[in-house]
Amino acid sequence: MIASFAGLALAGLMLFSPADPAATPAAGAKAGPGAQAQLEIAKQERRKANKTSGEEKRSILEGTIAQYQKVLELHGEDGPACAEASFRIGEIERSLGDAPGARAAFETTLSFGKDAPRFAARALNELGHLARRSGDAGAAIAAYERVLAEFPAEEAEAVKSLTWIGKVEASRGNAEKARTAWLSIADRYPALPVQAVRAADLAALDALEAGDADAAQAIVDRTRARFSAENKDQPWWSPEVEQALGKMKAPARLAAPESVEPEPAEED
């Protein structure tokens, strides 16, 4: 990649003739596209990979990483652009199976958190996922909790963090902590009722798994009472909320526990 970058720089210099002062870049000006233009170049390169597979796809994605790295190399002062570029690098590295590379990229995104809180919050969730997949539940929960502590205004990402904290705690046998995380979403993030309904369903299903049908039924009843159209006092009802209520799995298992097949583990 270094040789390629040097070649591009040399080619850029040849575009300007010393005999034509008007064509000479101003002192301090940067050669090449601006930060947003370079991001777009990288995005277009990444789209090409969608139509390929195997080694060809890997080669294109590696080239895409190089295009995103140019944003960091040439436009380091543009925090939002660098945050997006490093986050995209992390996504690609993860897809290529390079967990250390993905981790380094997402940590770079965090260094631009002040300028790009949404990408920083997403990067923390990705770091949590990497830790979880490696079997380090403690590190995963710590990363998810950082989203809640450092980027509370990024509500969509915070809800994902709480959802995964619950899943990790449930996998460790900490049912009370898991249900507390899931059920807290409704109160902490009232503007996201669909996610709150889904999380309540996870809590009810966890209670059923533990053999506590009464607790599961209570969770279902409270959720329906709070979010259904019959509650005229709520400001958050929408057709999407009603649809989420209709898709809850716990009620069907409560009604006919022997006839409902367990759901496969959710992929992330």
Q: pLDDT tens-digit profile of 218-229?
A: 999 999 999 988
pLDDT band with cut points at 50, 70 and 90 for residue 21? very low
Return the C-alpha torsion angle 222, 228, 230, 234, nearest 10.
90
In 3-state terms, what secondary structure has residue 256? coil
CATH top-level class for 155-263? Answer: mainly alpha
| Cα atoms found within 13 Å of the Cα of residue 61, Cβ hemisphere only | 21
Superfamily (CATH H level) for 37-47+55-153: Tetratricopeptide repeat domain (1.25.40.10)
Range among 167-176, 234-243, 251-260 rated most confident:
167-176
Give me 117's structure tokens: 């809180």
Q: Spell out the domain ranges in the chain.
A: 37-47+55-153, 155-263
CA distance 141 to 131: 9
Would you say the CATH fold of 155-263 matches that of 37-47+55-153?
Answer: yes
Q: pLDDT tens-digit profile of 166-190?
A: 999 999 999 999 999 999 999 999 9
Return the C-alpha torsion angle 13, 39, 45, 15, nearest 10.
-10
pTM: 0.83
